[in-house]
Chain A
Amino acid sequence: MPVFIGQDVTRIDALDKVLGRAAFAYDLKTDDMLFACVVRSEKPHALIKKIETARALSMEGVAAVLTHIDIPGENSFGAIKKDQQFLAKDRVRYVGEPIAVVVGVNEEVARKASGFVRIEYEELQVISDPFVSMTSPVLIHDEGNLLSHRKVIKGDIEKGFNESDVIVENTYRTTWVDHAYMETEAGLGYMDDDGRIVVVSSTQNIHYKMKEISRMLAMPPERVRVIQATTGGGFGGKLDVTVEGFLALCVYHLKRTVVMRFTREESFLAQTKRHPLHIEYKTGARKDGSINAVRVNITGDTGPYISYGETVCLRAAVHATGPYEVPNVHVDSRMFYTNNPVAGAMRGFGVPQLAFAHESQLDKIAGILNMDPLDIRIKNALRRGSLTATSQALEHSAGLPETLKRIEPFWRSRERQNDRRGFGLGCMYYGIGNTGVSNPSDCYLTFMPEGRIALHSGVCEIGQGSDTVLMQILCESLAMDDEKIVLLRGDTDTSRDAGSSSASRQTYISGMAVCDAAQKMKKYLEKEGYYSGRPLTDICEAALGKGDAMFEGHFDPPTTPVDMETSRGAPYATYAFATHMTEVEVNEVTGACRVVKVHAAHDVGRAVNVKNVRGQICGGIAMGIGLALMEEFSPGKSKSLDDYYMPTSMDMPEVEAIIVEDREPTGPYGAKGVGEPALIPQAASIVNAIKDATGVEARELPCHIERLKLLLEARRQK
């Protein structure tokens, strides 16, 4: 029997994609469809006095102008809490907040008409800084401007610092980053023959969106169907409801097929961003380099709505020490509301920002103690048996020491080709799955009349390769060729809730759900003689005749909720670990930094598909380069790809991906996850390499050309 796990199995979606025939949402548009676009707030904070739609409505070709009064059910959505309105009723809290939807016979008509929807505002005082928000009498929400305050407390922080020989204290800042997936948010909606609402969209989660639509329309979820179109990237930005609610509302009222697509400008203006964090970081270490105390104060700008702000707040806190065993920890992580863009989920949920801080701190300590940056990491690395910052004992897969070991020969033999070059290290750990909460995945297998097996999967393939990986896991579990298996995917009608494609969770969690279903089916197949040669067609027919047709799979990673005061607990069932070593070359005159080479060692538990894992690593490195050196979203200024710089092929280094497989016993064939880990340590390693090359310490990201030039000039003047 062929082996599927660990093989370079070809992606099942690649053929359609290279032929140009993969159908992304907007490719499904036909001439008879209506086009809908959104009228958005021009004010960052205002009361809505009046919404004038008559003029737009009277224009030729306009089918409807919908506002909050047209929402039959609840006008609210939110992944964590339902605090955001689909269409604002009496108040807006950020520029770009949706107020009305204009539907026209085509895009041109709809967009033109949307310019004639008049909104009267009464402006409110704007809060554009979390530190102002903290003490301001102006409240963005009645409950106050503090969204969330999470703490991690371990040991005795005072004592920890008192017993430290070196103390290093610095402040780090990061800014907004846009997901900038190549495909902007898009979808279409229609009413099926049974009068149900169907939405096909570019999304990272179908069942969540089905539930939101059902609440909005006050319809039972069975009356709503959500299908995932081929999705052109997600990175967290397509987790929140984007076009889906509007489409469903339009279909509800018009009973016609309606299509939507955000322009790039709209996507920049209105969609969520990576959280800007202000990180005050104090580290105490002993002479031998062991970290004895870490005190972190994180202040985040979450924008006016929650989105994933609470998640980022907590995840940043529990990962704040980095992948090191620290006996005394005190972290305060707080998110404040502002009238800036909504900050939400983006690849890493706050952890890349923290990695920048803890890795810079560690190099600083190593410098003072005259220690090699690699040695200090080896000394403090979490390993099997270690206690994390939340006092979780790492019992199983914990391959950080191995990633360090694999990097070691390259590090020890590094040589500067010229004096503008430098090398830096970055380590990370990352909890797979959602933090301290149940986050199950469900799937099922059926027999098909044509004599094959169907995997019913609700997992959203967003480019990361989950469809292929799940098929590999199923083939391996059933010891069956993929020709005998059909993947029925991404449709709420034919699948169960697998949770979102986020938090690097699908290989691990949905992979286990598939294993679970496969085990049950395998027993059945054994009994029916499949493995002793009875044809599958036969078994299928007989099984369908008897009604033995469904095998359910379920997995919920074993976690414990974390303590509200101390975050003590086991927030994740397993962690990924990584070490990146980066070489840069800095032009001392211009401030341009080029990343020359990256060695990236990742403990992924088990690489189900080596090529995909490498693809994630390379893509993560690109995004890390963007975070470190170029990507900066400034509200009001960054409007299009013209004024938002992200890595091109010219910015990429040579990459050596090193895969470490410290198998995770609770994962499918030992696998964990890699999507976010690939990005997390990259910016940190670049900043450390810049320091090595130039002596300059960047404390604010991105360290783009102008900023680095100023830092270099300042150093020269000293």
Chain B
Amino acid sequence: MKTISFILNGKKTVVEVRDSETLLYALRERLGITSVKEGCEIGECGTCTVLIDDEPHYSCMTLASKANGSDVKTVEFLGTADLLHPLQEAFINSGAVQCGYCTPGMLLSAYSLLLKNKDPDTDDIREAISGNLCRCTGYIQIVEAIKDAAGLCKHNS
């Protein structure tokens, strides 16, 4: 076991983890962040996506110890029921959510994209979420939502 400390959704967090433990496990089992989903455990589906220093990572393929000293974000960071992030708002309004299992990971990949690219086109968006599988939506309304959110973010800033 070793103690790691990192920023989780803006808060300093200290937790004991095993050397071999994944960040997915630490977040779900030790820190109770169940929005981080598991779909495959081998880095193929993206449902476990988190942001480490604002870059998307598969938390199932990341050792928890690697998060030490970094900034980790999960979907809880984005918004709350009273104050949704434009991406969350757009996901709701565009029909980008069906079963919702891919949604947290999808939102985080999209969030990371919008940090780097304020005005992404369809291809940029597709590329950015290409590591996040969704079995329900066919991605179309997700891409539309991200485009809408980008517009909203630009407008707000």
Contacts and interface: CB of A to CB of B under 8 A. Distances in A.
Contacts of B102: 182
Interface string B41-56: 1101101000000000
A652 B99 CA distance: 19
Contact of A10 (B92, B129, B133): B92
A315 interface: no
A378 to B, nearest CB: 28
Interface centre among A24, A232, A621, A650 (most CB of B within 10 A): A232
Contact of A19 (B88, B139, B142): B88
B22 to A, nearest CB: 13
A264 B98 contact: no
Contacts of A652: 126, 138-140, 143
B40 A640 contact: yes
Interface in A229-267: 230-233, 235, 263-264
B135 A18 contact: no
B45 A15 contact: no
Interface stretch (A319-327, A330-338, A572-580, A609-617): A609-617
Contacts of A647: 138
Nearest to A617: B138
A263 B40 CA distance: 7
Given A621-B138, A648-B133, A652-B138, A464 B42 contact: no
B42 A20 contact: no
Chain A interface, DSSP helix/strand/loop, else mixed? loop
A19 B101 CA distance: 12
Interface in A609-664: 611-612, 614-615, 617-623, 640-642, 646-650, 652, 655
A371 interface: no
Interface centre among A19, A184, A614, A642 (most CB of B within 10 A): A19
Given A618-B139, A652-B126, A642 B92 contact: no
A263 B75 contact: no
A464 B136 CA distance: 8
Given A15-B81, A463-B99, A619 B136 contact: yes
Interface centre among B44, B93, B130, B142 (most CB of A within 10 A): B44
Contact of B138 (A21, A27, A655): A655
A233 B136 contact: yes
Contacts of A464: 98
Contacts of A19: 35, 75-76, 79-81, 84, 88
B34 interface: yes
Contacts of A183: 37, 39, 99, 101
A466 B139 CA distance: 20
Nearest to A10: B92
Interface string A173-201: 00000011111100000000000000000
Interface string B66-86: 000000001110011100100
Contact of B101 (A233, A614, A641): A233
Interface residues of B, number: 51
A640 B39 CA distance: 10
B19 to A, nearest CB: 15
Interface in A8-39: 8, 10-11, 13-24, 26-27
B3 to A, nearest CB: 20
Nearest to A186: B38
B92 A11 contact: yes
A618 B96 CA distance: 11
B5 to A, nearest CB: 22
Contacts of A26: 34, 38
A580 to B, nearest CB: 13
Contacts of B39: 182-184, 264, 641
A182 B139 CA distance: 14
A42 B138 CA distance: 35
Given A182-B45, A183-B37, A648-B130, A17 B97 contact: yes
A618 B137 contact: yes
A21 B35 contact: yes
B9 to A, nearest CB: 11
Contacts of A623: 135, 138
Given A18-B91, A18-B92, A19-B80, A640 B44 contact: yes
B135 A182 contact: yes
Contact of A641 (B37, B44, B81, B99): B44
B95 interface: yes
Contact of B76 (A20, A179, A612): A20
A443 to B, nearest CB: 22
The 6 closest A-B pairs by CB, nearest first: A20-B35, A463-B99, A17-B100, A232-B101, A618-B138, A622-B138
Given A15-B92, A22-B100, A646-B133, 13 more contacts: A19-B88, A183-B39, A184-B39, A264-B42, A611-B95, A614-B141, A615-B137, A619-B98, A641-B39, A647-B138, A649-B134, A652-B140, A652-B143
18 contacts: A13-B97, A18-B107, A19-B80, A20-B74, A24-B37, A183-B99, A183-B101, A232-B101, A264-B40, A264-B42, A640-B42, A641-B39, A641-B42, A641-B133, A647-B138, A648-B139, A649-B125, A652-B143
Interface of B: 34-35, 37-42, 44-45, 47, 74-76, 79-81, 84, 88, 91-95, 97-104, 107, 125-127, 129-143
